Structure 1
């Protein structure tokens, strides 16, 4: 029996709905069935996939039948052929090359840097500030000093603005029905090119400095420069550049956005915030956290787990079939697009009780949710390679800053979701800090 359900409404009305509000569209589609046809194109059909077993087929069991397709093509305008966009054997080779940067011995080194940067992040008491911006700046500093062995320094504002422009333009292009070729000199494309140039200048300078001095060890940059092909040749600078830019974009924006939502949710739930502060007091007693403390802060961990359930870093995952493929007993032609939304699936009542509520306790002493009903870092061979780093970074930042401050929301304030690469707060989140 087929598991395909057709969505209600015309092709045009559904397209306009998705363009206007993709999150509500995906929530609606996820409630209609396991595999929902949205008739985006008769030639290249599109489906919203909402059943964990079907998602596992696409992302794991039959992943070789799929590629990222258009999403990778658009992202490659900035990151080139890095880990985020490469396919097939190239992707497998790159994974093998980069994975050691996230081994435990390196995480131990990164943890100290994370705490140092978080501890240096000061908030003026009783003065309004933009939490989104502060978390972006903090995670940018962390990714550059841990992965590249370099302080971003005076270029922080410039690089942050360039990353912001690239993410906005990429999201705008990805969900456009008729994406304008990158070479056309539209205002958006010009901004994108200018931002690429600024990031390239920063990255190539890092590579040059490291080659000259060899000063930094235990970093991704150092590892890439030491890597050779089977024939003994070093990696070309362009490939190193692609991996570093990939890490720059993917390694700080998503974590910063998730942390922003965590502070928002804590401010909205004072009883949970109180338990959070109790754990920090009991386990740390005012001292700075270390790598060893990450496992000893279970409630802090569940706060972040629950945050990325409600606001997952990857709110949508796109896959395109390379050939005819069978999924869930139904056969789909080549060039079929499958849309998988962790945002929608994480909010489905069959998998989570009171799914719309912020309940960190659901991750403590409860049965684990079914595989692929909770997958904030995607899954399968293309799952986020830095997920352990991101979890450690988030817990250490929450613990370090949470020991010194509690935050309250500026009211009134409209909180609106903006689905770009990650789920941002429109205009940023305005808060006020109080000393603990």
Structure 2
């Protein structure tokens, strides 16, 4: 006899007892989200000291203050930079101040609506290849997280280095996975608030594959410069041609490489996670899956989705939005206060860490009805949801530059797969949400695949 399905989809058991330095370190090593106390889903702010002073902020007005109104006073935390800089340098994701601003102005046109729309055929082609691979899995279980990583990496590789010349895609993918596994975990010194110049032992002797990847990327960029751009242009061509509209400055080879690696890391990892969690949720609630399949089949028939279909796939988009609410890839952010401030009546001093637990915000009892439940219809009117209550891509000037790219890709791939296949849960194989650098399904997303 089959086990009865759980009443709620997979979630993190948030802690209910105070944690000291060692317990916090152990929790961060296992799953960063275990640092969030359960009470964070019921109050606007929490404050404490674990090595250094911290404030955990769940209040939408306070989040607006940090992410938009006083963004310069809240740069990314030292821990974030220590983890990411070895992989992506002083690129758009890590840089601050003037260094960030000129890169943002240069890169923004690359992700314009016109350019993102023009990349739609690459996403459609990747969806078709995913269908072909899953056709071979019909009648058995498949790891849909692994499949979505493959599909989204194909997309980001095709739109960054479209010709693949001198750029070993498999090596890049392996280097990224190695870096996340070996280097991205929080150090005990991070928890203690040690200054950045103190070496973190877990990061001293790792990242060799990432260093080799940087060399490969540099050579590929130099080769592209020598041979000229491609037609149609890919992301590398667009970045090479771009310049800061105010200063006229263009990116050097190192700056191009670091930003391209940023787009590769973020562009496939976050979309793969969104799709994997969305498919898990569709299997969790067969009635939602059936309605989404009917929508997709009515629009697509037996073809893959395209950009032109997006407006006619509203339920598919709502499933993506709800997956991003329940399992935001960037589920735990942190900032370092640089000036005195007040958040929710709480004093903030320079040097304090301000934690933005997006996972808790998206499941907050005062902000959402049935917050742990899978209910895509809560996004039937996205304008009814206050802006800083739902932050899968952040907000303010540093909102994710690739948000429209990710959403377009997610809807195209999800609609294509739901139109062709039926996915069902496997008892005892629910994924466990675990965050190291991003919120991943530990153990994969194993679902039975059948033709629709």
Normalised by the length of structure 1, the TM-score is 0.90
Give 1:352-431 correspondences, 5 Å limit.
352-365=368-381, 368-431=384-447
Alignment RMSD (CA, Å)? 2.7
Q: Quickly say closer, same or farther: Cα 1:52–1:174, change in 2 above 3 A.
A: farther
| Paired position in structure 1 for 2:9 | none
Which shifted more, 264-273 or 402-411?
Answer: 402-411
Check conservation: 1:346, 1:352, Cα contact below 8 A. Answer: yes
Give 1:161-200 correspondences, 5 Å limit.
161-173=174-186, 176-177=190-191, 189-192=204-207, 194-200=208-214
Q: For 1:126 and 1:328, how far apart are their aligned partners in 2? A: 54
Of 238, 245, 267, the residue aligned with 2:261 is: 245
Can you list the C-alpha shifts for 1:192-218, whole angstroms capped at 9, x where unaligned? 2x2212321332233133223224243
| Paired position in structure 1 for 2:349 | 333
Which consecutive unaligned segments of at least 5 residues does structure 2 have? 1-15
Q: For 1:294 and 1:120, how far apart are their aligned partners in 2? A: 19
Q: Secondary structure at the match of 2:36?
A: helix
Q: Quickly say closer, same or farther: Cα 1:365–1:183, change in 2 above 3 A.
A: closer
Of 324, 332, 338, the residue aligned with 1:316 is: 332
| Paired position in structure 2 for 1:210 | 224
Q: For 2:431 and 2:20, how far apart are their aligned partners in 1? A: 30
Give 1:54-73 correspondences, 5 Å limit.
54-70=62-78, 71-73=80-82
Q: Secondary structure at the match of 1:37?
A: strand
Of 206, 212, 223, the residue aligned with 2:238 is: 223
Q: Secondary structure at the match of 2:184?
A: helix
Can you list the C-alpha shifts for 1:355-397, whole angstroms capped at 9, x where unaligned? 1111111111476222211111111111111101110010001
| Paired position in structure 2 for 1:53 | 61
| Paired position in structure 1 for 2:121 | 112
| Paired position in structure 1 for 2:170 | 157
Can you list the C-alpha shifts for 1:78-126, whole angstroms capped at 9, x where unaligned? 1001000000111111111111111122122111110011101221122
Q: How many positions carry a matched residue from both structures?
A: 427
Q: For 1:16 and 1:186, how far apart are their aligned partners in 2? A: 14
Which shifted more, 160-169 or 258-267?
Answer: 160-169
Q: Quickly say closer, same or farther: Cα 1:16–1:107, change in 2 above 3 A.
A: closer
| Paired position in structure 2 for 1:86 | 95
Can you list the C-alpha shifts for 1:181-238, whole angstroms capped at 9, x where unaligned? 899796764342x221232133223313322322424322112222346776653211
Can you list the C-alpha shifts for 1:134-184, whole angstroms capped at 9, x where unaligned? 111111110121133234999343322211121233431367536898997
Q: Secondary structure at the match of 1:326?
A: strand
Matched, 1:129 2:132: no
Q: For 1:343 and 1:233, how far apart are their aligned partners in 2? A: 38
Normalised by the length of structure 2, the TM-score is 0.87
Between 1 and 2, higher relative CO (CA 8 Å, sep ≥ 6) is seen in: 2
| Paired position in structure 2 for 1:305 | 321
Which shifted more, 414-423 or 56-65?
Answer: 414-423
Q: Secondary structure at the match of 1:39?
A: strand
- Report the alpha carbon displacement of residue 260 of structure 1 after superposing the two structures with TM: 0.7
| Paired position in structure 1 for 2:11 | none
Of 140, 148, 153, the residue aligned with 2:153 is: 140
Q: For 1:10 and 1:72, how far apart are their aligned partners in 2? A: 25
Which consecutive unaligned segments of at least 5 residues does structure 1 have? 1-6
Of 2, 20, 24, the residue aligned with 1:15 is: 24
Q: For 1:40 and 1:182, how far apart are their aligned partners in 2? A: 20
Q: For 1:390 and 1:426, how far apart are their aligned partners in 2? A: 22
- Report the alpha carbon displacement of residue 12 of structure 1 after superposing the two structures with TM: 3.9
| Paired position in structure 2 for 1:3 | none
Check conservation: 2:31, 2:436, Cα contact below 8 A. Answer: no
| Paired position in structure 1 for 2:50 | 40
Of 344, 348, 352, the residue aligned with 2:364 is: 348
Can you list the C-alpha shifts for 1:47-80, whole angstroms capped at 9, x where unaligned? 1111111111111111111110211232111100
Q: Secondary structure at the match of 1:95?
A: helix
Q: For 2:183 and 2:263, how far apart are their aligned partners in 1? A: 16
Q: Quickly say closer, same or farther: Cα 1:227–1:10, change in 2 above 3 A.
A: closer
Q: For 2:25 and 2:210, how far apart are their aligned partners in 1? A: 31
